[in-house]
Amino acid sequence: ELKVEQNPLFLSMQEGKNYTIYCNYSTTSDRLYWYRQDPGKSLESLFVLLSNGAVKQEGRLMASLDTKARLSTLHITAAVHDLSATYFCAVDMSSGSGGGADGLTFGKGTHLIIQP
Amino acid sequence: GAGVSQSPRYKVAKRGQDVALRCDPISGHVSLFWYQQALGQGPEFLTYFQNEAQLDKSGLPSDRFFAERPEGSVSTLKIQRTQQEDSAVYLCASSDLPGTQYFGPGTRLLVL
């Protein structure tokens, strides 16, 4: 059974600081996703990481993937209040063969509060 | 273009009632997924369609849950004889094959 663990689950930080959210998963997977969810809203896709060593950046957020360690990180640089949200990582449940889409297994989410 | 849409956005049901939740995926997306999100938790996979074929229903919690996508586009998730533990947000997502899943706004179901 695929398991996805995120930590921390709750994070309160000040604007201007840097921090990293960690996502560990239990079995081999080709695809890892990061989503953002604002209160009462649906999930917004942030990043798709498809291979070992993949790194993607968008604004103050940077995501990386280490498939050997089964670890992905989401790094926040110089945080601003607008980044307050819940961040989820999710792993594709299909095999590494790339043979088609399948459901995602999500972590419990990291609830991030950025204080001015 | 239009994203994934879901209706109704909110549904209150009395315990024992049947409910039907609708999902309109992004036009042309082959894959369609249903997830259940309890308060404060991550979404949990329910079922997956590729076109009209339901390829995986391993996440459906009981035989009271039923999903269909008869023409390979719109999908309906039906819950029979609703129970209080069914209260959650039901999210629909669609994707190209394979690719990022794009989520709809969800249906918030409250069973009293």
Instruction: Provide CB contacts within 8 A for B8, sequence distance 6+.
Output: B21, B22, B107
Nearest to A97 by CA among A23, A28, A3, A26: A28
Asked whether the predicted pLDDT for residue A99 surpasses 60, the reply is no
* Interval A52-72 mean pLDDT: 93
Chain A: nearest CA to B21, how far in angstroms?
A: 16
Asked whether the predicted pLDDT for residue A100 surpasses 50, the reply is no
Most A CBs within 10 Å: which of B48, B55, B92, B97, as the mutation test of the A interface? B48
Using the beta-carbon criterion (under 8 Å), do B106 and A45 form an inter-chain contact?
Answer: no
* Interval B9-14 mean pLDDT: 97
Closest residue in A to B91 (Cα–Cα): A42
Task: For residues B56 and A105, give the distance between their C-alpha atoms in angstroms, rounded to a whole number.
Answer: 14
* Interval B52-78 mean pLDDT: 95
Over pLDDT 90: what percentage of chain B?
Answer: 92
* Interval B75-97 mean pLDDT: 95
Q: What is the pLDDT of residue A97?
A: 40
What is chain A's mean pLDDT, rounded?
90
Task: For residues A4 and A14, give the distance between their C-alpha atoms in angstroms, rounded to a whole number.
Answer: 27
Q: Does B43 touch chain A (CB under 8 A)?
A: yes
Q: Which of A67-76, A87-96, B8-17, B84-93 has the lowest mean pLDDT?
A: A87-96
Token reading at B63: 């035989």
Chain A: nearest CA to B7, how far in angstroms?
A: 14
Q: What is the pLDDT of residue B1?
A: 57
Q: What is the pLDDT of residue A1?
A: 79
Q: Does B49 touch chain A (CB under 8 A)?
A: no
Give the closest of A41, A100, A103 to B45, CB-based. A103
Contact B50, B72 (CB under 8 A): no
DSSP string, B19-79: EEEEEEPPTT--EEEEEEE-TTS--EEEEEEETTEEEE-TT--STTEEEE-TTSS-EEEEE
Q: Does A5 touch chain B (CB under 8 A)?
A: no
Closest residue in B to A40 (Cα–Cα): B105
* Chain B residues with CB-CB distance to A98 below 8 A: 98
* Chain A residues with CB-CB distance to B41 below 8 A: 108-109
Contact B44, B59 (CB under 8 A): yes
pLDDT digits (tens, 9 = 90+) for A32-41: 999 999 998 8
Task: For residues A66 and A80, give the distance between their C-alpha atoms in angstroms, rounded to a whole number.
Answer: 27
Q: What is the pLDDT of residue A101?
A: 54
Task: For residues A9 and B61, give the distance between their C-alpha atoms in angstroms, rounded to a whole number.
Answer: 25
Using the beta-carbon criterion (under 8 Å), do B91 and A43 form an inter-chain contact?
Answer: yes
Contact A44, A58 (CB under 8 A): no
* Interval A75-86 mean pLDDT: 96
Find how far residue B21's CA is from the centre of its chain: 7
Q: What is the pLDDT of residue B99?
A: 79
Q: What is the pLDDT of residue B42?
A: 94
Query: Which residues make beta-bridge pairs with B5?
Result: B24
Could you tell me the pLDDT band of residue B64, with boundaries at 50, 70 and 90?
A: very high
* Interval A88-97 mean pLDDT: 74
Could you tell me the pLDDT band of residue A98, with boundaries at 50, 70 and 90?
A: very low
* Interval A76-92 mean pLDDT: 95
* Chain A residues with CB-CB distance to B48 below 8 A: 101-103
| 3-state secondary structure (DSSP) of residue A12 | strand
Contact A74, A63 (CB under 8 A): yes
Could you tell me the pLDDT band of residue A116, with boundaries at 50, 70 and 90?
A: confident
Q: Does B36 touch chain A (CB under 8 A)?
A: no
